[in-house]
Structure 1
Amino acid sequence: MRPPARERPGRGEPASPAVRAGGVVLLLCIAAALLSAVAGGLLRAGVPLAGAGAPDWLGQAAVQHAALMICAFMGTVIAVERAVAVKLAIAWLAPAASALAGPLLLLGHPGAAGGLLVAAGAVFVGVNMVVVRRQNEPHTELLLASALAWLAGNLLFALGFAPAAVVPWWFAFLVMTIAAERLEMTRLMRRRRGALPALVALLALLVAGSTLSAAEPVAGGVLYGAALLGLALWLLAFDIARRTLFTHGLSRYMAVCLLGGYAWLAIGGLAWAATALGANWRDTALHALGLGFVFSMMMGHAPVILPAVARVKLLFGWPFYLPLALLHGSLLLRLGLRGLDAGWLPRGAGLNAAAIALFAATAAGAVVAWRRRHDRPRAG
């Protein structure tokens, strides 16, 4: 959720050394979670990162790939964004706890990490209750629902439930967070009368699928996949991206990211339901959703969110399209050709990782480019 204009951070008093040190530690934990999650994902896809002498943390990164990527990385980033928005010191306990869970996962302490993730989820729910109290709107209520989904997944993880029961809740957290962001934006458009009830029904179906996945994996998986497919169709029909696609600059780039992501969301929903019915489409379901949809949304929103959260400015330009094209192209190769040649799974996964790295480099380069253009000392 973007901070309202009156709450956006400004240039106040310099932060204390303790606050700056905490910020550095938090940033390092976020980076470590992303890098280790990517490494673990590559290892799971069959990319030979190390030989027999592989470090223990790399094996843990493969085992805890979903927890690292969704909770220690994405969950922490979202919690940081929300803490900046509400401007309450206690709100920072949520990203601090989820960030510290990452090193514990890599050190082989999932129980302790699970406890921290439960604490993070509980604080995050409280933060979103504050958001609803300040601005009681459908999109803020949906943000609260997404926080509850994260807490539910974290509780199941801490209690030792299987990934089949946990992962749907974690993805529901991300999907509902993105849906809330887009619902906020659709206020700029005239919506049909039934649009909001339809969205609520689809997200209720998503929650039902998450709940059933532990005890009734077939029924739960089919419901979950149907909800994802329905949500993709809703977003394609009602999102403002359909109009901004025909604009220029950053607005068009964001629209391309969003519409491409919605296509992958639909594919992920179909693959999720097919997997529940016995098809060998698990990799397609997880990565069409996690990479094709979620990372497309992150790439699209990063040029807007980073300035508000990190207090940096980016010079947007055509290079941002390069990692986006690589992400979608590598997913097509990974998911489309693996049935013909199993070697496309590790090759495609390697290109997926390259797309993430290229995006990080592009964003960093955009920050440097803005500073060079605007921070030059004035002559005389």
Structure 2
Amino acid sequence: MVSAGPARRADRRRAQARWRVALALGAAAALVLGVGGGLLRAGVPVEGAAWAWAGVQHAALMIGAFFGTVIGLERAVALGHPAAYAAPAATAAAAVLLVFGAQAAGAWLLVAGALAFTLDSALIVRRQPALHTALLLAAAMAFVMGAGAWAAGVRHDGVHAWWFTFLVVTIAAERLEMTRLMQRRRAAAPLLVAVLVALYAGAAVSFAAARAGHLVFGAALVALAAWLGAFDIARRTVRATGLPRYMAVCLLLGYAWLAVGGAAWALAAVGEPVRDIALHALGLGFVISMVMAHALVILPAVVGVKLEYAGVFYLPLVLLQVSLVARSVAPWAGPAWRAAGALGHVVAFVVFALCLVQARRRWQRLHTR
């Protein structure tokens, strides 16, 4: 006879597994809505009132609702407590409110999710005090700053700076964690902290002195790209084969786009027509390249889906890079290039999703045998 304790634990695990799947689907819905809104903003005609609202809320859907839910779900799985799922549940629910026109309610629910996410991050630091967990907490605080300013009605690129700080610092912290056993020069950690202090200073100053703040912010992004390129293990594993090499290629391409995004951010501050390049070099070139790099590792841990790598994963990566280059020439080649680039992003996302489905089937086929 099974005792009550193990039975309760098994029920809790099953309930959490259902929550993980439901929240992953919520994040996927936020991604679809955000991408549709992005197409509309890029000049691609998309019909429907929900898509029109998604176009207005594009940044909030992509950064707050989609990435907030995905990263919040990852953090909840790490904590292993049912209450930790409140953060991704709030950010996923915010997406629904935003696309149905309840902007104020959706925005403040996003703030609530960011605050809960910050609490989860503080618990991670308490459980495992280290530089990378402290950076995860700092990233969560940037999420609160961005969501709070946006909910309060601020419509300024300073909001985007805080939101991108959330994503960029989260990624930097996770790379630091994944390579913490790698031997680095003694100056590496202090250099990283100095770069991130400049990043936060630029985001903060951009509200009061936009040009100065954005120049500092852009320069800090370029410096972070240089730090990652110099100290990340990807520069070694790119000489490997299979999944390690694929991940390294994704990472190194992402770091290059991080440098492009930082340079474009600084140039936009002095009046150059490169704001769209800055936003999407960061949001797509850097962040989505990181997603493609880590999906085969993160999805099995978070959702419990086993995946088998194959070389076909290079296809969506190449499609993403080509579409980003096409979009980046739009300020000089014309708006049609921006729309073509946006459609190319969607093709890359769809192909990547199909590759994940095929990776799942490949794993089942191999392990059934």
Short-chain TM bin: over 0.9
TM-score, normalised to structure 2, is 0.94
Aligned equivalent of 2:99, options 74, 91, 106: 106
Instruction: Read off the aligned partner of 2:241 and give its amino acid letter.
Output: H
2:193 aligns with: 200
Kindly report the root-mean-square deviation, in angstroms, between the aligned alpha carbons of the 2 structures: 1.6
Tell me the residue number matched to 1:13: 10
Counterpart pick for 1:26 among 23, 27, 49: 23
Q: Which residue of 1 aligns with 2:72?
A: 79
Equivalent residue number for residue 3 of structure 1: none
Q: CA deviation at 1:356?
A: 1.0
Secondary structure at the residue paired with 1:13?
A: helix
Partner of 2:264: 271
**Aligned counterpart, 2:177:** 184
2-structure distance, mates of 1:288, 1:340: 17
Say which SS state the counterpart of residue 314 (structure 1) adopts.
coil
Report 1:359-370 matches (<5 A).
359-370=352-363
The size of the alignment, in residue pairs, is 361
Question: Whose helix proportion is higher, 1 or 2?
Answer: 2
The alpha carbon displacement at 1:164 in A equals 1.6
The offset of 1:25, in angstroms, is 4.1
The letter for the 1-side match of 2:145 is A
Q: SS of 2:272's equivalent? A: coil
CA contact (8 A) 2:33 2:51 kept: yes
State the 1:251 CA deviation.
Answer: 0.4
Map of 1:203-242 to 2, 5 A cutoff?
203-242=196-235
1:186·1:238 contact (CA, 8 Å) conserved in 2?
no
**Shift in CA distance, 375/42, structure 1 to aligned 2, threshold 3 Å:** same
Matched, 1:47 2:44: yes
- The whole-number CA distance in structure 2 between the counterparts of 1:24 and 1:240 is 32
Name which of 68, 76, 86 aligns with 1:93.
Answer: 86
Other structure's SS at 2:180 match: helix
Matched with 2:4 is none
State the identity %.
53
Aligned counterpart in structure 1 of residue 34 of structure 2, from 37, 43, 59: 37
| TM-superposition CA deviations, 1:217-250 (whole Å, max 9, x none) | 1011101100100000000010000100001111
Contact 1:206 1:224 survives alignment (8 Å): yes
> How big is the shift at 1:307?
0.7
Q: What aligned pairs does 1:117-128 form with structure 2 within 5 A after superposition?
A: 117-128=110-121
Counterpart residue number, 1:293:
286
**Contact 1:29 1:103 survives alignment (8 Å):** no
Cross-structure match for 1:8:
none
| Long gaps (5+) in structure 2 | 1-8
How far apart are 1:309 and its partner, in Å? 0.6
1:328 aligns with 2:342: no
1:163 Cα deviation from its structure 2 partner:
3.7
Partner of 2:139: 146
Q: CA deviation at 1:183?
A: 1.2
- Once the two structures are overlaid, the 10-residue window that deviates more, 268-277 or 205-214, is 205-214
- What one-letter code is carried by the residue in structure 1 that aligns with 2:318? A
Aligned-partner Cα distance in 2 for 1:49–1:277: 33
Deviates more, 1:210-219 or 1:261-270: 210-219
Inter-partner Cα distance in structure 2 for 1:238 and 1:17: 40
Distance 1:145 1:16, change over 3 A: closer
What is residue 7 of structure 1 aligned with on the other side? none
Secondary structure, aligned partner of 2:211: helix
